[in-house]
Amino acid sequence: MIFQLALKNLWAGRLRTWLNLLVLSLTLGTMIFIQALMEGTLEQMLKARMAEEVGGGQLWFGPYDPLDPLSLEKANGPLPPEVALAVDRGEATVVLALFGTAYPQGRMTSVVLKGINPNQSVLALSFAPLAQAPPSVALPVMVGERMAKQLSLAVGDRFTLLWRAQAGAFDALEVQLVGLFSTQVPSMDQGQLWFRLEDLQRMNGTAGQASLVVFRHHPPASQGVWTAKSPETLMQDSIEMMATKSAGNRLFYLLLLMLSLLAVFDSQALAVFRRRKEVGTLMALGFSNQKILALFLAEGMGLGLLASLLTLAWGWPLAGYLVREGLDFGVSGDSYGMALSSRFYPAFSAQMVLESFGIVNLLVSLVSFLPLRKITGLSPADAIRGNWL
């Protein structure tokens, strides 16, 4: 009976009920969308890095540190026998890294020289132009599209390259750009020049040596100076960055919830004041204070439930479209140093939706209870006369 009365009262509210439903529904939809966008962004970023940079894990040679280019001079060594077999079977690919300076069109730019097998299939990037370079090209090189734009380079351009070999002597050669590649991972593009592995090993005087090994699946355990790096360790910076952004979004959720709950509180407080004679009549008919409280709480719970259903009604098809087509903000993630394209794909989950619905419904029920505290202890005569104090 209480729930029937609550539904009738909500229906009688007309415009007030619809406005509350609209505010709660928009709040729910916005909360779920932002959470899904953050989850989808993190998932998209990690997938891109695993496919194009991290693989299934890596082995690093002793002093190798991608954030310290000056350490690259001594950061290479011979492969352990087990790792060499994995490379021969195509389960891993070798990368050699050196520090150098490029002089495109007379400008000086510090770069990291990286050598890789152009026929590798561990990483999703294609270095086929290195393997297909004609014999007339003495030292072919590839760069990413961002790097080419930064240096104003085009395929076929030549420029001078200076580096320091492991023996300590400086050397210089003219290289020719034979191809560009497109990647979502800025760290594989910006400041990187890619060579054939054997060319860079010859330039450094370290045949058969490497700085790191990228595995298709899980890397073996650390061996001597070679240290194993799991995908989680290698992508910890991306995970922490998204966690920081998620923490900032929680403040936005809180402000949004406060505004919507304030509207519900005001609506319930006004309803209690305007319906004081109705409350007194119900008390005279035998309704206890607890039942009166239950009636108004049922109205609040019904408001939250209807808002959830309304959110599902318009949010379900919209979520399906966004998951399928994505959302284009017109700015790619590499502008902010993230491994993302310009199109973002939210990742919705049942747990995310149910948690949001549960939190909002719980808070709506609590807020609906707050204006009703003065009802406790009222007599029917006081209620009808409006003596609430």
Kindly report, residue by residue over 66-76, the tens digit of the pLDDT: 888 888 888 89
What is the 8-class DSSP label of residue 79?
A: P
Q: pLDDT-derived band of residue 346, with 50, 70 and 90 as boundaries?
A: confident
Is the pLDDT at 232 greater than 80, yes or no?
A: yes
Q: Output the pLDDT for position 118.
A: 94
> For residue 227, what are its two tokens?
């240290």
197-206 pLDDT per residue, tens = 999 999 998 8
Question: Which of 29-33, 120-124, 295-299, 337-341 is most confident?
Answer: 120-124
Domain ranges of the chain: 2-51+237-385, 58-229
Q: Output the pLDDT for position 389.
A: 47
Is the pLDDT at 26 greater than 60, yes or no?
A: yes
Of 74-78, 260-264, 322-326, the one with minimum mean pLDDT is: 260-264
